[in-house]
Structure 1
């Protein structure tokens, strides 16, 4: 991609997503992650209206009257995005591919972070860590992440999300917010690594999918390409059983992810390439802020 074309594309993404960030997520980002980066400051006497969950029971027992802990918001909060750039994310049948949806979602999160004076960083992962962008503040840094995501060509097309999670845990020592953005087509186990990361950090999973992954159209005998294994398969889509099995696999995968993310204590949303992802993101933010 030529420099002029790249700058135009980045500018278009910025204008679209910054507008959406102000319109849709005004206040929701801060509310959703409020208190995630808090440090203990002092204790004070309990007053009517204070959150009872903040009661310091040790001090209360010592002085025989209720005291609550007072927390101060950390000045700097880091937001990380672990981005799955494997081959399967190039798929898309609607207005955009999953990779293009990832770009828009990353832009929304990045501009939400910098609007709240937070740092933002990124980790690109396939079956290994492809690129690490340390967190910084500011518009120029957010734009740099988007440029890298547009231009970067993965060295591998396979997926191993746990490699990205392991790298994140080893490199990022201070509690941070981390968005794991993927279609989660990964034959390797990553849930144990996700649970470990969630013990220290605030992990959020965003699943990208295309409507054609839910329902196979009746197009007769067609050639399908596995972008990660680079294998071509012929599929008889006119077979009702084949179409039903295809849909059932998607539904079962969705149920399995729902169950596993819930057990891991990780907030989770599914985002579609059909253009309706903002409503799901907004719902996730609102749910977290309650």
Structure 2
């Protein structure tokens, strides 16, 4: 992709997402994440009306007059967006490839955070972490994140979500908002989800094409796995074969939902034809 094509694609995504974000997501994001806790600021003499539970008993005993701890809200947040760049994400049968749809979701999340003066970072991963964009603020930074997603080399290898989460937790110590975007076609260790969700606020987003869940009747077809290189012939006219495949995918989704729920993390299952902004709005509202 040439530079002018990249700039054009990034601009298109910005135009599509900015209006949608400003109209709905930004306000709901601010309401959901306007403060994530309280941190100690200072100690001052007690004033009428102060809560008794704020009294600093050690200083009160030392100076023989009451002092209270002043707490302030922790305002600045960091958002980390983890994007799967295994080859199955470079695929789509509708108007968009999964990676383009993911870039739009990342843009909406990023502009929401930027409007709240929060930092946003990016991790691109497949079988390992391939690129890290450190968290920063501002619109130009969000545009660079969009560009990184759409211009990435999508790797023909199974993705390893565990490695991405492990890397993030090792590098980014502060509690963050973590959005994990993948088609979750490959196996992972559910224990890592539990570890990550204890340290960070985690939302897994399965981005899928409708053909990921159901294969149409097209007769005998050679099916090719872009991540492993494996090829198999299948009789897609066999209703039982199509049913078995579809049921297997449904069970995989049920397992995903259960793993995230058991990890106290959130999960969204998003078709590339869905209105992701409405789903994110509802997620923020629940927060």
TM-score by length of 2: 0.87
- CA deviation profile, 1:182-228 (whole Å, cap 9, x unmatched): 11122232x21221121121111111111122222111112222111
Provide the C-alpha distance between the structure 1 equivalents of 2:209 and 2:111, rounded to a whole number of angstroms: 25
In structure 2, the residue corresponding to 1:27 is in which secondary structure? helix
Larger radius of gyration: 2
Provide the C-alpha distance between the structure 1 equivalents of 2:143 and 2:251, rounded to a whole number of angstroms: 37
Displacement of 1:71: 5.2
Partner of 2:261: 262
Matches for 1:60-79 after TM superposition, within 5 Å: 72-79=72-79
Q: Does 2:55 correspond to 1:45?
A: no
**Number of residue-to-residue matches in the alignment:** 272
Which sections of structure 1, spanning at least 5 residues, go unmatched? 47-54, 60-68
Which sections of structure 2, spanning at least 5 residues, go unmatched? 44-49, 58-68
Residues 196-205 or 160-169, more deviating? 196-205
Provide the C-alpha distance between the structure 2 equivalents of 1:267 and 1:223, rounded to a whole number of angstroms: 36
Partner of 1:219: 218
- CA deviation profile, 1:240-271 (whole Å, cap 9, x unmatched): 11111111011101111111100000011111
Contact 1:80–1:178 at 8 Å: present in 2 too? Answer: yes
Displacement of 1:155: 4.9
Q: Specify whether residues 40 and 198 from structure 1 end up closer, same or farther in structure 2 by C-alpha distance, changes over 3 A only.
A: farther
In structure 1, the residue corresponding to 2:157 is in which secondary structure? coil
Contact 2:34–2:75 at 8 Å: present in 1 too? Answer: no
Provide the C-alpha distance between the structure 2 equivalents of 1:180 and 1:72, rounded to a whole number of angstroms: 30
Partner of 2:96: 96
Displacement of 1:128: 0.3
Residues 203-212 or 127-136, more deviating? 203-212
Partner of 1:159: 159
In structure 1, the residue corresponding to 2:173 is in which secondary structure? coil
Q: Specify whether residues 35 and 71 from structure 1 end up closer, same or farther in structure 2 by C-alpha distance, changes over 3 A only.
A: farther
Displacement of 1:35: 3.1
In structure 2, the residue corresponding to 1:173 is in which secondary structure? coil
Partner of 1:65: none
Provide the C-alpha distance between the structure 2 equivalents of 1:72 and 1:178, rounded to a whole number of angstroms: 24
Provide the C-alpha distance between the structure 2 equivalents of 1:193 and 1:19, rounded to a whole number of angstroms: 36
Contact 1:130–1:155 at 8 Å: present in 2 too? Answer: no
Contact 1:268–1:284 at 8 Å: present in 2 too? Answer: no
Contact 1:221–1:236 at 8 Å: present in 2 too? Answer: yes
Q: Over the residues paired in the alignment, what is the CA RMSD in angstroms? A: 2.4
